[in-house]
C-alpha cells in the first residue's frame, strides 16, 4: 500500500522539532536516532519508492527540496537522509529503465534503511574477498557510513581477483545484522558530527553469489557512476545548501541589529551573491537529473560534477561570509553559526573533490580516457 503524505507539510511539522538540542548532539557527536525513527514512521525513507511498489511515489526533485529544508533545522539529519535517498534514487532509475532495482526498492518500502559506502570506495574499493561455495567471504573496513547506527542494509563493494577475468569490484548489499558485521564507533570529526558516519567493519561476511548486482573492472571508471553521481549529488548538495542558507539567515538577523554599521550592506551583498551562486548551481543539478529523466552518459555526470564544485565552493564561502557579516556574536557557539560553518566544510570531500573534478573534466575535454583509481585517491586516503 502506497504511503501518502505531503513532504513540505511534514517538513514544517518536524523541522523545528529536529532543531532542538542540535548543539548538544554536536557536542557529544550523538547520532540523530530519534529523528531516524520518526522519519521511518512517517514514510520518508520510502518516499521515493514508486507507489506501485508500496512507496510514496515522490519525485527526486521533491526529496531534494525536503533535504534542503530539513538541513536548515538539522544539517546532520539532512545529510544522513540524503545518503539513504541517493541509493534509493539509483535503484529507481534502474527500475524505470529495465535494470535490477525492484528488490531493493521493495525492501525500502518494507521499512529498510540503506547505508552507503560508495563514495569512500570509489573506483578501486577496498577489502579482501575470497571465493567460497555459494558465494564469497568479505572482510573490509568501510568508513563514512552515514546513518549506520539505524541502518538495515549496507550497500557496498569489495575488490575480487577473479581467476579468469582478473581484478574486479563486486557490488552487493549486506544486512547490517549479518554475522561478522559491526560498527567501529569512530565518528569524531570536525563537522556533521551527528550523522553517525562511522566505519562499518566486515569480518569474513558471507555474500551469496546471487547478491552480487554488479561486477566491474577494478580501477576503471564504469558507466554505473553516470547514474550514481547524477542522482546522488543533487541530494547531497541540497543538504549542504540548506546549512549555508541557515547560516545566511543567522547573519542577516545579526546584521539587522547593527543598522548604522557602514559595512553591513556590503557584507550582506557579498553574502547574497555567494549564496545565490550556490543556489543556482544546486538548482541546475536538480534540473539535470530531471526527476530521473536523463541520459546516463559520462557527459551528464561531468556536468553534475562541475556544478558540484561550483556549489561546494560557494557554500563554504557563504558560511564564512556569514560569520564575518554576523560580527563578533557569530564567534559564540550558542548562536549556532560556528556549528554550521564546521558542517559545510564536509561538502568538499564528496566526489569529486575540486582538483579531481577539474582533472576529470579536463580529460573529457581532451578526449582522454576517464580517470583511473591510481590517479584519484579515495576519500579514505584523503582523510588519512
> What confidence tens digit (pLDDT) does each residue in 239-250 have?
999 999 999 999
Tell me, yes or no, whether 229 and 163 share the same domain: no
Q: Is the pLDDT of residue 377 over 90?
A: no
The DSSP secondary-structure symbol of 102 reads H
Evaluate whether residue 165 is within a structural domain.
yes
CATH of the domain at 126: 2.40.110.10
Length of the chain: 384
CATH of the domain at 229: 1.20.140.10
Higher pLDDT, 166 or 121: 166
CB 106 within 8 A of CB 50: no
Tell me, yes or no, whether 170 and 72 share the same domain: no
Rounded to a whole number of angstroms, the CA Rg of the chain reads 21
Residue ending a domain, among 71, 89, 113, is 113
Q: What is the mean pLDDT of the chain?
A: 94
Query: In this predicted structure, what is the pLDDT of residue 379?
Result: 41
* Integer Cα distance of 32 and 15 in angstroms: 13
Strands 135-142, 200-208: pairing kind: antiparallel
* Integer Cα distance of 216 and 159 in angstroms: 10
Query: In this predicted structure, what is the pLDDT of residue 55?
Result: 97
Query: In this predicted structure, what is the pLDDT of residue 378?
Result: 43
State the cell numbers at 51. 507507489
CB 371 within 8 A of CB 225: no
Residue ending a domain, among 217, 249, 281, is 217
* Integer Cα distance of 116 and 151 in angstroms: 10
Long-range (24+ apart) CB contacts under 8 A made by 280-285 are 281/237, 281/307, 281/308, 281/310, 281/311, 281/314, 282/68, 282/234, 282/237, 282/238, 282/241, 282/307, 282/311, 285/233, 285/234, 285/237, 285/311
Evaluate whether residue 178 is within a structural domain.
yes
Evaluate whether residue 31 is within a structural domain.
yes
Tell me, yes or no, whether 289 and 347 share the same domain: yes
> What confidence tens digit (pLDDT) does each residue in 34-51 have?
999 999 999 999 999 999
Evaluate whether residue 296 is within a structural domain.
yes
Query: In this predicted structure, what is the pLDDT of residue 5?
Result: 76
Tell me, yes or no, whether 234 and 328 share the same domain: yes
Evaluate whether residue 61 is within a structural domain.
yes
| pTM listed for this prediction | 0.95
Tell me, yes or no, whether 153 and 265 share the same domain: no
Tell me, yes or no, whether 22 and 109 share the same domain: yes
Count how many domains the chain has: 3
Domain of residue 248 covers 224-383
Tell me, yes or no, whether 212 and 298 share the same domain: no
CATH of the domain at 18: 1.10.540.10
Least trusted range by pLDDT, from 121-125, 152-156, 368-372: 368-372
Evaluate whether residue 1 is within a structural domain.
no
Tell me, yes or no, whether 350 and 236 share the same domain: yes
What backbone torsions phi and psi does residue 105 show, to the nearest 5 degrees? -65, -35
Residue ending a domain, among 65, 84, 113, is 113
* Integer Cα distance of 196 and 144 in angstroms: 8
Tell me, yes or no, whether 56 and 123 share the same domain: no
Tell me, yes or no, whether 184 and 312 share the same domain: no
Tell me, yes or no, whether 106 and 125 share the same domain: no
Give the pLDDT mean for 327-338. 95
Evaluate whether residue 213 is within a structural domain.
yes
Tell me, yes or no, whether 52 and 126 share the same domain: no
Query: In this predicted structure, what is the pLDDT of residue 384?
Result: 41
Query: In this predicted structure, what is the pLDDT of residue 372?
Result: 61
Evaluate whether residue 2 is within a structural domain.
no
* Integer Cα distance of 92 and 227 in angstroms: 10
CB 320 within 8 A of CB 279: no
Amino acid at each position: 500500500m502506497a504511503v501518502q503524505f505531503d513532504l513540505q507539510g511534514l517538513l514544517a511539522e518536524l523541522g523545528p522539532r529536529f532543531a532542538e538540542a542540535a548543539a548538544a548532539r554536536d557536542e557529544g557527536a550523538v547520532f540523530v536516532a530519534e529523528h531516524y525513527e520518526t522519519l521511518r514512521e512517517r514514510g520518508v525513507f520510502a518516499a521515493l519508492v514508486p507507489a506501485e511498489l508500496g512507496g510514496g511515489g515522490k519525485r527526486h526533485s521533491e526529496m531534494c527540496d525536503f533535504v534542503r529544508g530539513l538541513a536548515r533545522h538539522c544539517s546532520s539529519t539532512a545529510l544522513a537522509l540524503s545518503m539513504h535517498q541517493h541509493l534509493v534514487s539509483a535503484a529507481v532509475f534502474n527500475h524505470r529503465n529495465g535494470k535490477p532495482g525492484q528488490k531493493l526498492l521493495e525492501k525500502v518500502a518494507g521499512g529498510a534503511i540503506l547505508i552507503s559506502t560508495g563514495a569512500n570506495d570509489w573506483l578501486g574499493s577496498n577489502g579482501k574477498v575470497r571465493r567460497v561455495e555459494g558465494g564469497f567471504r568479505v572482510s573490509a573496513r568501510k568508513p563514512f557510513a552515514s546513518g549506520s547506527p539505524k541502518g538495515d542494509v549496507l550497500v557496498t563493494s569489495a575488490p575480487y581477483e577473479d581467476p579468469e577475468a582478473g581484478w574486479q569490484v563486486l557490488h552487493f548489499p549486506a544486512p547490517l545484522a549479518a554475522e561478522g558485521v559491526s560498527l567501529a564507533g569512530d565518528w569524531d570529526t570536525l563537522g556533521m558530527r551527528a550523522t553517525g558516519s562511522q566505519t562499518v567493519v566486515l569480518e569474513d561476511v558471507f555474500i551469496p553469489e546471487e547478491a552480487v548486482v554488479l561486477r566491474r573492472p577494478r580501477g576503471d571508471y564504469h558507466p554505473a557512476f553516470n547514474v550514481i553521481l547524477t542522482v546522488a549529488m543533487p541530494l547531497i548538495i541540497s543538504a549542504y545548501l540548506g546549512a549555508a542558507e541557515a547560516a545566511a539567515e543567522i547573519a542577516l538577523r545579526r546584521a539587522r541589529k547593527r543598522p548604522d554599521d557602514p559595512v553591513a550592506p556590503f557584507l550582506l551583498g557579498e553574502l547574497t551573491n555567494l549564496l545565490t551562486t550556490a543556489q543556482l548551481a544546486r538548482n541546475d543539478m536538480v534540473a539535470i537529473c530531471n526527476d530521473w529523466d536523463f541520459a546516463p552518459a559520462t557527459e551528464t555526470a561531468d556536468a553534475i560534477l562541475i556544478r558540484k564544485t561550483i556549489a561546494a565552493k560557494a557554500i563554504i564561502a557563504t558560511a564564512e561570509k556569514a560569520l564575518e557579516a554576523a560580527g563578533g556574536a557569530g564567534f559564540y557557539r550558542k548562536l549556532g553559526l560556528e556549528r554550521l560553518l564546521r558542517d559545510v566544510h564536509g561538502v568538499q570531500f564528496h566526489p569529486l573533490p575540486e582538483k579531481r573534478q577539474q582533472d576529470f573534466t579536463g580529460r573529457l575535454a581532451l578526449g582522454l580516457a576517464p580517470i583511473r583509481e591510481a590517479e584519484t585517491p579515495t576519500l579514505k586516503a584523503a582523510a588519512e
